[in-house]
Amino acid sequence: MYRENRLWQWGSHIVLLLLSLACVGPFLLLFISSITDEQSIIQNGYSFFPKEISFAAYEYIWQQSSLIFNAYGITIFVTVFGTAASLLITSMLAYPLSRRDLPGGNIVAFLLFFTLLFNGGLAPTYIIYTQLFHIKNTLAALIVPGLLMNGFSVMMMRGFFMTTVPSSVLESASIDGATEFTIYRKIVLPLSLPILAVVGLLQGLMYWNDWFNGLIYLTNPKLYSLQTVMNQLMSNIQFLANNSKVSSLASGSMQELPSEAFRMAIAVISIAPIMIAYPFFQKYFVKGLAFGAVKG
Amino acid sequence: MNSRLGNARKKIWKYSPLYLMMLPGVAYLLINNYLPMYGITIAFKDINFAKGIWGSDWNGMQNFKFLFSSSDAYLITRNTILYNTAFIVLGLIAGVGTAILLNEIKNKLAVKFYQSVLLLPYLISMVLVSYLVYSLLSVNVGLMNKTILPALGIDPVSWYNEPKFWPFILVIVNLWKGIGFSCVVYLAAIIGIDKDYYEAAMLDGASKWQQIRKITVPLITPIIIMMTLLSIGRIFYSDFGLFYQVPMNSGALFSTTNVIDTYVFRALMQLGDIGMSAAAGLYQSVVGFILVILSNYAVRKLSKDNALF
């Protein structure tokens, strides 16, 4: 019995270590590639053991900073503002829906729920946003379409409000003369920090990682987020030269550009904030995923 | 009568702050979800930019006839369903398997470590995944062509031009990205199992393997069935990023990478064929809707609590 247990322990560790390596490996290769000399990439390819280390790619990012830094700013703004707006709208819809006494609440709940089952599809959505709301090449294009609020989050939050915020507390507050807005702000939200953290985290990650809206609604490089820039760079490294302030690049001499290392360097700086923050939000994230999967 | 009306008015007045709070959310639903549903009408139109999108002539089922008479309709439907089937089956095995192994490990810190690392791929965007895959598969500088294949004495492969490899590549990438998530879900279910069962089994001399087969797996079966049925409900939808970004939109690969979502996207953004794109999108939405209803009905039969509705 004891030997069998040890065997399972060791076996599990070995399999999970291999899986972990498979999960981390590509990230490691990405990082090492970004600090590999361009010439050795061209000769030996991307490699875990580069012949020559060079930080030229990062120097390039620093030098012709305008495009990348602008994109970084856009990504941060969209993530922060989008997440805040999303939490506000989501919770403001979820709270009234959690009140069983609200007349007509069921109708709204059904309207919300139906969006999880059926959607108009990409073409009508695109036409509505571009023709009716003229969202092309605006910052709103990165925040609003498809991302601002989703049915799952509202239902998750509504469920949390229903089970965690006691209706007796709400009643006594309203007898004491508190308005609905006060109750929402002073009682419901403070009691619901865990669910706000989970929804905010998932929402923030979604905004940080979104490239789709940039792909279909943006053509102006000034509005590109990091993901959109990376998307463009993958198909076309020339894109960088066209949008660069450094004259040697703008004139089209591409020899100097460490393009293969450069791609990887941009990818590295785009995930760096997530990787740095991950140990801190890891706990909430795991709980939120398990909770969302079971409830959603 | 009058007093009843008065009561209703009072009631609405009493709840008006709550209605006001719902306003932004409801407005967003209308804009983001319900206007596009109305916009489905363009699937039945012959879009003519001179007349404007809403002023274009109706052409009945022409867009659909054209879609289903092309070979594309079959190809994208087949690809979507086959890929999703592979994702569901292999994802389930990988998720449950890693969750069982993780549950065996006694060291709590190690469990946390493995779980965090397995979730790493889940955190990143598909654009980034395409960068990672590119670093492995790039024809000129990728790890495969420059290091691994030469070491094995195999000729370099032009990965982004060879459709036959992509079913394997996409399945592996999908597993890689999703294993952490499904592992978290199933581990949560396994942890919830009453420890008494295992103690009783051990007293009876059951081996670990028997415990897994006779206790763990049967007890998490409801969750397995629920997750699987929910995925089956979404079998007509695919992860657009996976099929668009990871193969880098390479035309040579369409025979094995084109799915309904990428078809809808390309018809709209690259061919400018709005009517066709809307028709394919509606085909997806309608079949998808029916599948969700059916799978939910099945979930409901098994366990009312886990049903979506």
How buried is residue A197: exposed, middle or buried, by Cβ count under 10 Å (0-12/13-18/19+)? middle
Contact assessment for residue B298 and residue B231, using Cβ atoms and an 8 Å cutoff = no
Please tell me whether residue B45 adopts helix, strand or coil conformation: strand
Contact B141/A131, CB-based, under 8 Å?
no
pLDDT of residue A290: 77
The answer to whether the CB atoms of A118 and B37 lie below 8 A apart is: yes
Query: Which of A10, A23, A183 to mutate to test binding with chain B, by most B CBs within 10 Å of its CB?
Result: A23
CA distance B300 to chain A (A): 14
Report the gap between the CA of B127 and the closest CA in chain A (Å).
6
User: Could you tell me which chain B residue has the CA closest to the CA of A105?
Assistant: B19
Across the interface, do B184 and A290 touch by the CB < 8 Å criterion? yes
Task: Report pLDDT for B61.
Answer: 86
If you average pLDDT over residues B238-244, what whole number do you get? 94
> Could you say which of A121, A144, A267 has the minimum Cβ distance to residue B128?
A267
- Most A CBs within 10 Å: which of B7, B10, B21, B177, as the mutation test of the A interface? B21
pLDDT at A239: 65
| B266 has a pLDDT exceeding 70 | yes
Closest chain B residue to the Cα of A284, Cα to Cα: B116
pLDDT in the model for residue A250: 45
Tell me if B128 and A294 make a contact (CB, 8 A cut-off): no
- Reported residue count of chain B is 309
Predicted local distance difference test score (pLDDT) of residue A247 = 44
Handedness of CA A265, A271, A273, A276 (dihedral sign): negative
Closest residue in B to A14 (Cα) is: B101
Distance CA A183, CA A2 (A): 58
At residue B170, the pLDDT reads 96
Contact B110 A131 (CB under 8 A): no
Name every chain A residue with its beta carbon within 8 A of the beta carbon of B115: 286
- Residue whose pair of structure tokens reads 């403001």 in the numeric block: A92
pLDDT, residue A243, reads: 63
**Contact between residue B66 and residue B86 where contact means Cβ atoms under 8 Å apart:** no
- Cβ distance of B124 and A274 shorter than 8 Å: yes
Nearest to B36 among A33, A93, A125 (CB): A125
Query: Higher model confidence: residue A196 or residue B226?
Result: A196
pLDDT digits (tens, 9 = 90+) for A151-195: 989 998 999 999 888 888 888 888 888 888 899 999 999 999 989
CA distance linking residue A233 with residue A216, whole number of Å:
16
Give the whole-number percent of chain B exceeding pLDDT 70: 98
Decide if B136 and A29 are in contact by the 8 Å CB cutoff: yes
CB contact under 8 A, B241 and A16: no
Question: If you measure CA to CA, which chain A residue comes closest to B268?
Answer: A123
pLDDT < 50 regions, chain A: 246-255, 296
Q: What tokens were used for B223?
A: 């969750």
Quick one: residue B52, left, alpha or beta (phi over 0 = left, psi -120 to 50 = alpha)?
left
Mean pLDDT estimate for chain B:
90
Q: Which residues of A touch B268 (CB under 8 A)?
A: 122-123, 126
Q: What is the pLDDT of residue A253?
A: 47
B71-93 tens-digit pLDDT: 889 999 999 999 999 999 999 99
- How many Å apart are CA B158 and CA B292, to the nearest integer? 39
**Residues B143-166: pLDDT tens digits?**
999 889 999 999 999 999 999 999
Q: What is the pLDDT of residue A171?
A: 86
Tens of pLDDT along A25-62?
999 999 999 999 988 888 888 989 988 898 988 888 88
Whether B12 sits inside 8 A of A99 (CB atoms) is: no
Residue A244: what pLDDT? 57
Residue of B nearest to A207 (CA): B125
Contacts of B185 in chain A (CB under 8 A): 289-290, 293-294
Q: Compare CB distances from A124 to B42, B185, B309 and report the shortest one's residue.
A: B42
Report the C-alpha gap between A164 and A285 in whole angstroms.
20
- Only one residue has tokens 């002073």, namely A186
Q: Residue for token digits 């050795």?
A: A40
Partners of residue A123 in chain B, C-beta under 8 Å:
39, 42-43, 264, 267-268, 274, 277-278, 281
ipTM for the predicted complex: 0.90
CA distance A43 to chain B (A): 8
Across the interface, do A46 and B138 touch by the CB < 8 Å criterion?
yes
